[in-house]
Amino acid sequence: MRFASAPREWLNSTVRFGNVLTVLAKHGFAGLLRGEEHWPTPVELREAFEELGVVFLKFGQVLSTRGDLLPREYIAELEHLQDRLPPEDPQVIRSTIESELSDNIKRLFRSFDEEPLAAATIAQVHAAVLPDGRDVVIKVQRPGLDQRIAEDLAVMAFLAATLDALVPAARGYDAPSIVREFHMTLLRELDFRREAHNIRRFRSVLEDVERLTIPAVIETHSTSRVITIERAHGERLNNYVHAHPEAANALARRVLHLFLRQVFREGMFHADPHPGNFLVNDAGMLFLYDFGMVGEVDASERETMIDLLRATVQGDSRTAAEAYLDLGYVGPGADRQAVRDEISIFLRDLREQPVSELSVGRTLESLLRLGSRHGVRNPGSLLLLARAFITLEAVIRQLDPELNILEVFGEELPGLTRKRFSASQMAADAVDMARNIDRLVRQAPHDLRRVLRRLNEGDLGAVQVREHPSVSGERERAVRLIIRTIGSGFLTIAGAVMIVGAELSITDWRLLLGVALLGVGLMGMAATGVLEKLKW
């Protein structure tokens, strides 16, 4: 369903719309529906979502990750939403599998267990055995979701627009945008081909991690609504540690190092690292499951996140504030100075806590909440990362309550720093810089002509500059970078020109001077890259 078709869906969903309004009114939303600033309690909000079914359940789960928007008591209550429904009729599941895989289930599998291993809102999971004897698990999407999702998203879109129009206090939350983002998230989750793609990617980038296995997708038995995966035999992470307490510390460290590698080295991370998605067998092999929810951060975001976390731990409020502002979208209404001031106060209070009690996830969530109050729009990748950190830290605390999470993070920093300043990485950065400079040089004449034309027309004041998330906080550094780059580039070019025009003789002063200029220019370019990495 295209989101733009929502008005037509509203007309086709009047019965569902009336049902939703009735349930919301029953659970404390009557005031809001009348345009009053009367908010339901956290329990009322949870109960309403549970009664409204699949789509609202998923929406509540998404809202439970938005610690930057909702008070903690609402977040805590929404975390209790149960992602479980009664299982579908076995015959319906069989029909779905046969329709998707275009074959009889008896030919597709040697055996198929009709009793589901799990029954969640979107899909349920069954055990089976392939004709070749391999044990597998099959995730099958519940039937009839498309129509319900279309109806409920149309209702949500209307309610969000109404809330935005009638309740001034709600406008800062931008409810229509939240619903649109949820719509896109839900569509991605409904396409099991994305999960299959994620599994292939993670298997590729983590194949060198010792004693880690990510079960493979059975491609011949997978579609957009059915996904079949190799089955691992082991115990849930927390159950394994309960039976093997001597392995708790080492296993907690392995899990944390694995997550940090995903985020800061590979740029993609398992966004739902709860205990049920980890299995451990008797040999200590770790299995990682369920890649339906995956977060991604690009190279620039990873470097800025490292700077943010390091500065936060060290109490460097200036660097932490600038790093955070680099990550978010700072619109024209945002108060940058208020963000800096509050981060300074926040880090001062943070330093008073024992280091062993600090939570990376909660700290990151607090920073996001702080920025949101002052008009900073937080990127989805950072929101997902904060939530994943919180989930993972809860797992770590179950395994080993005494583990110092920041200490483990500190163990990762040297490797991250080496990679950041490695020859291969700097060479890649140099190529990117060369591309940017080339693009700037090619576009400059056109931009200059446009400015001169506006100046000649007396219309220069009409030129508008759109503020980009990373521009406004980087102006001074950008100017220094341009000056360094131009100066180093001039010396490099001048040296090369002199060498080309000189004779290959050590007595030719042009050759000696050219080599010297070329060397100084190249060293200057290298130093520019290093200083840019250090944000100087």
Can you tell me which residue has the tokens 């080492």?
250
The pLDDT of residue 72 is 81
Q: For residues 106 and 253, state if they share a domain.
A: no
How does the average pLDDT of the chain come out, rounded?
A: 78
Highest mean pLDDT among 177-181, 239-243, 425-429, 489-493: 239-243
Query: Closest Cα partner for 309 from 294, 297, 291?
Result: 297
Q: For residues 271 and 365, state if they share a domain.
A: yes
The whole-number average pLDDT for the span 361-372 is: 83
Q: How far apart are CA 501 and CA 511, in angstroms?
A: 8
Q: For residues 185 and 198, state if they share a domain.
A: no
Structural domain ending residue among the three candidates 374, 396, 420: 420
Say yes or no to pLDDT of 1 above 60. Answer: no
SS3 state at 143: coil
The pLDDT of residue 485 is 56
b/e sequence 87-117, b meaning 16+ C-beta within 10 Å: bbeeeebbebbbebbeeeeeebbeebeeebe
Q: What is the DSSP code (8-state) at residue 444? A: H
The pLDDT of residue 469 is 42
The pLDDT of residue 89 is 92
The residues assigned a catalytic role are 272
Q: For residues 15 and 111, state if they share a domain.
A: no
The pLDDT of residue 217 is 97
Q: Which of 506 and 138 is assigned the larger pLDDT?
A: 138
Q: Which domain, by its residues, includes 270?
A: 233-420
Q: Which of 6-10, 187-191, 221-225, 396-400 has the lowest mean pLDDT?
A: 6-10
Query: What digits encode the pLDDT tens for the residues 109-126?
Result: 999 999 999 888 889 999
Query: What digits encode the pLDDT tens for the residues 450-494?
Result: 555 555 555 544 444 444 444 444 445 554 555 555 555 555 666
Structural domain ending residue among the three candidates 231, 251, 280: 231
Q: For residues 10 and 108, state if they share a domain.
A: no
Q: For residues 44 and 17, state if they share a domain.
A: yes
Query: Closest Cα partner for 357 from 388, 297, 403, 400?
Result: 403
b/e sequence 519-531, b meaning 16+ C-beta within 10 Å: ebbeebbeebbee
Q: Which of 46 and 453 is assigned the larger pLDDT?
A: 46
Q: How far apart are CA 459 and CA 453, in angstroms?
A: 9
The pLDDT of residue 91 is 94
The pLDDT of residue 473 is 45
pLDDT bucket at 75, cuts 50 / 70 / 90: confident
Query: What digits encode the pLDDT tens for the residues 405-442?
Result: 877 877 776 665 555 544 554 455 455 555 555 555 45
Q: For residues 373 and 484, state if they share a domain.
A: no
Q: Which of 94-108, 195-209, 352-366, 452-466 has the lowest mean pLDDT?
A: 452-466
Q: How far apart are CA 110 and CA 133, in angstroms?
A: 7
Q: Which of 100-104, 433-437, 510-514 has the lowest mean pLDDT?
A: 433-437
Q: Which of 92-96, 209-213, 511-515, 523-527 has the lowest mean pLDDT?
A: 523-527
The pLDDT of residue 420 is 52
The pLDDT of residue 329 is 73
The pLDDT of residue 484 is 53
pLDDT bucket at 94, cuts 50 / 70 / 90: very high
Give the max Cα distance, the chain. Answer: 94
Q: For residues 286 and 301, state if they share a domain.
A: yes
What is 77-95 written as a DSSP string? HHTT-----PPPPHHHHHH
Q: For residues 127 and 260, state if they share a domain.
A: no
Residue 455's CB: how many other CB atoms inside 10 A?
A: 11
The pLDDT of residue 227 is 96
Say yes or no to pLDDT of 286 above 70. Answer: yes
Q: For residues 72 and 220, state if they share a domain.
A: no
CA 467 to chain centre: 23
| Tally of structural domains, the chain | 4
CATH number of 208's domain: 3.30.200.20
Query: What digits encode the pLDDT tens for the residues 56-74?
Result: 888 888 787 776 677 888 8
Query: What digits encode the pLDDT tens for the residues 129-171?
Result: 999 999 999 999 998 888 888 888 888 888 888 877 776 766 6
Query: Do residues 437 and 485 touch, judged by C-beta distance below 8 A?
Result: yes
The whole-number average pLDDT for the span 80-88 is: 77
Integer Rg of the chain from CA:
28
Structural domain ending residue among the three candidates 420, 455, 476: 420
CA dihedral angle for residue 29, residue 30, residue 36, residue 42, rounded to 10 degrees: -20
The pLDDT of residue 333 is 72
The whole-number average pLDDT for the span 202-218 is: 95
Q: For residues 266 and 386, state if they share a domain.
A: yes
Measure the N-to-C terminal CA separation of the chain; round to a whole number of Å.
48
Q: Which residues pair with 278 in a beta bridge?
A: 288
Highest mean pLDDT among 198-207, 235-244, 262-271: 198-207
Q: How does strand 286-288 pair with strand 278-280?
A: antiparallel
SS3 state at 138: strand
Tell me what percent of the chain is helix, strand and coil, each rounded to the nearest 5. Answer: 65, 10, 25
Instruction: Identify residue 393 by its one-letter amino acid code.
Output: E
Say yes or no to pLDDT of 3 above 50. Answer: no
Q: For residues 310 and 171, state if they share a domain.
A: no
Instruction: Identify residue 195 by its one-letter amino acid code.
Output: E
